[in-house]
C-alpha cells in the first residue's frame, strides 16, 4: 500500500510537470485528487486496514495529497504568469494616440439665471423656499384675494385638474403658504423660484409653462420705499450699475398699491429706441404692498404687520440680458442655443 502511494505521487508529479496548459493541469487535478481519483479511493478504503496500519497509511495518503496539491498550485501560477507575459508581449499600447473627447454637459441658462437671482437675494437676507406646482384653488387664488367669481382670475388662464386643484399659475401661492407656516407672529423674508403654468398659446413671447421668482417681505413697518430699495439694488447688481429703475402704478388683487417695475433700456439709456419700443424703459416685474386682506387671511394682523411682494419671470429677464428673441428656445433644447450660454 505504501509503495502504491509513493508510486502515485511520483506519477502525479510527472504529469503535473508535463502539463502545458491550465486545462491540462485541471485534468491532472481531477484525475488524481478528484472524488473518483486513487487517493480518495485509498482514504475510503481505510476502514478495511488493521488498526496498526491505519494511522501510517492515513498520514502518508495525506502527505501525498498535499505534495500533489502543492505541485499543482505552483505549476498553475507558473502557467498563468507565462500566459500573462505572452499577452503583454503581443499587446502594445500606443501612448501617442489622441484621447477621445468627452462631451461634458452644463447647467441650463435658466438654471444659471435663477441661481444668480437667488444669490443676490440671499445676500440681502432672503431665504429661498419652494412650493407645490399642483396647487389648490385656495392658495393659488382665494388666499390671494381672488374669490371664486373674481373677474381678475381671467388674467391667468389656468389648467384645472379638478374643481379644487390646478397647476399653479404663479408662484404667489407660496406667499400665503409661507405666512401660514410662520403663524402670524414673526417676520417673513423669502424668495421662491419655480415653474408656473398658464393656458396660453405658445409663441415668441408666450409659453404655457415658464419660471417665476416670487419675493415676500413681511415685518413691522415695511414700506413701499423698502420695496423700491430692494428692487433697485437687485436691478443694479443683476443688470449693471448704470441702469435705473422706475415704478409705475398697476393692479394685482393681492397687492395694494400695486406697481410694475421698469428698467432703463441698455441700448439707448432712456432715449427711446426699437428695443424699448421708443419708451426708454423695459418692463421687468410686478409687485406691490401685500394687501391687508391677504395678510389677514394668512394670520397676520394688518394693523401690526405690513409687507411687500414681487414676482419676476427669469425667461423674460434672461431674454433681456442676453438678447434671446424667442422664449421657446428655453424649452426646445437645441444644444446650439444652450451652448452659447455655457462656456464648458
Ligand atoms: N403673481 C403675479 C403674476 O404672476 C406677480 C406678482 C407677484 C405681483 C407678487 C405682485 C406681487 O403676474
Check residue 343 and give its pLDDT: 57
Band (344; pLDDT cuts 50, 70, 90): very low
Q: In the predicted model, is pLDDT for residue 126 greater than 70?
A: yes
C-alpha span between 110 and 96 (Å, rounded): 41
How do the domains of the chain map onto residue ranges? Answer: 2-89, 115-338
Question: Span 171-182, mean pLDDT?
Answer: 97
C-alpha span between 109 and 92 (Å, rounded): 45
C-alpha span between 222 and 259 (Å, rounded): 16
Q: Indicate the top mutation candidate among 170, 191, 230, 289 to test ligand 1's pocket, ranked by most ligand atoms within 8 A of CB.
A: 170
Question: Span 41-48, mean pLDDT?
Answer: 81
Q: Whose CA is nearest to atom 5 of ligand 1?
A: 311
C-alpha span between 118 and 38 (Å, rounded): 80
pLDDT digits 0-9 by tens, 80-90: 898 898 888 88
Q: Whose CA is nearest to atom 10 of ligand 1?
A: 287
Between the CA of 99 and the centroid of ligand 1 the distance, in Å, is 52
Between the CA of 36 and the centroid of ligand 1 the distance, in Å, is 87
Rg (the chain; Cα; Å): 40
Q: Whole-model pTM?
A: 0.72
Is the distance from the beta carbon of residue 288 to the nearest atom of ligand 1 less than 6 Å?
yes
- Find how far residue 84's CA is from the centre of its chain: 44
Return the CATH class of domain 115-338.
alpha beta
C-alpha span between 146 and 143 (Å, rounded): 7
Q: Is the dihedral of CA 21, 26, 29, 30 positive or negative?
A: negative
pLDDT digits 0-9 by tens, 201-256: 999 989 999 999 999 999 999 999 999 999 999 999 999 999 999 999 999 999 99
Is the distance from the beta carbon of residue 194 to the nearest atom of ligand 1 less than 6 Å?
no
C-alpha span between 325 and 331 (Å, rounded): 13
Amino acid at each position: 500500500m505504501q509503495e502504491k502511494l509513493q508510486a502515485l505521487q511520483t506519477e502525479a508529479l510527472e504529469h503535473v510537470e508535463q502539463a502545458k496548459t491550465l486545462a491540462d493541469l485541471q485534468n491532472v487535478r481531477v484525475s488524481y485528487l478528484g472524488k473518483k481519483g486513487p487517493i480518495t479511493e485509498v482514504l475510503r478504503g481505510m476502514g478495511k486496514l488493521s488498526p496498526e496500519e491505519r494511522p501510517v497509511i492515513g498520514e502518508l495518503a495525506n502527505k501525498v495529497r498535499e505534495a500533489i496539491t502543492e505541485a499543482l498550485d505552483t505549476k498553475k501560477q507558473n502557467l498563468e504568469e507565462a500566459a500573462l507575459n505572452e499577452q503583454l508581449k503581443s499587446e502594445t499600447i500606443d501612448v501617442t494616440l489622441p484621447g477621445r473627447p468627452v462631451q461634458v454637459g452644463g447647467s441650463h441658462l435658466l438654471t444659471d439665471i435663477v441661481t444668480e437671482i437667488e444669490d443676490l437675494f440671499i445676500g440681502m437676507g432672503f431665504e429661498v423656499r419652494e412650493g407645490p406646482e399642483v396647487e389648490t384653488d385656495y392658495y393659488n387664488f382665494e388666499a390671494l384675494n381672488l374669490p371664486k367669481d373674481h373677474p381678475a382670475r381671467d388674467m391667468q388662464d389656468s389648467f384645472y385638474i379638478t374643481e379644487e386643484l390646478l397647476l399653479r399659475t404663479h408662484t404667489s401661492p407660496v406667499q400665503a403658504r409661507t405666512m401660514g407656516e410662520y403663524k402670524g407672529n414673526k417676520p417673513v423674508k423669502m424668495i421662491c423660484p419655480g415653474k408656473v403654468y398658464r393656458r396660453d398659446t405658445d409663441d415668441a413671447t408666450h409659453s404655457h409653462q415658464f419660471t417665476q421668482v416670487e419675493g415676500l417681505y413681511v415685518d413691522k413697518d415695511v414700506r413701499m420705499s423698502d420695496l423700491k430699495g430692494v428692487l433697485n439694488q437687485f436691478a443694479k447688481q443683476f443688470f449693471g450699475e448704470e441702469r435705473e429703475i422706475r415704478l409705475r402704478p398697476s393692479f394685482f388683487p393681492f397687492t395694494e398699491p400695486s406697481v410694475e417695475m421698469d428698467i432703463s433700456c441698455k441700448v439707448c439709456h432712456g432715449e427711446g429706441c426699437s428695443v424699448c419700443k421708443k419708451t426708454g424703459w423695459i418692463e421687468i416685474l410686478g409687485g406691490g404692498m401685500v394687501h391687508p386682506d391677504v395678510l389677514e387671511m394668512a394670520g397676520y394682523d394688518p394693523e401690526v404687520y405690513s409687507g411687500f411682494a414681487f414676482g419676476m419671470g427669469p425667461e423674460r429677464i434672461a431674454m433681456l440680458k442676453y438678447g434671446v428673441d424667442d422664449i421657446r428656445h428655453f424649452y426646445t433644447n437645441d444644444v446650439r442655443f444652450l451652448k452659447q450660454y455655457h462656456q464648458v
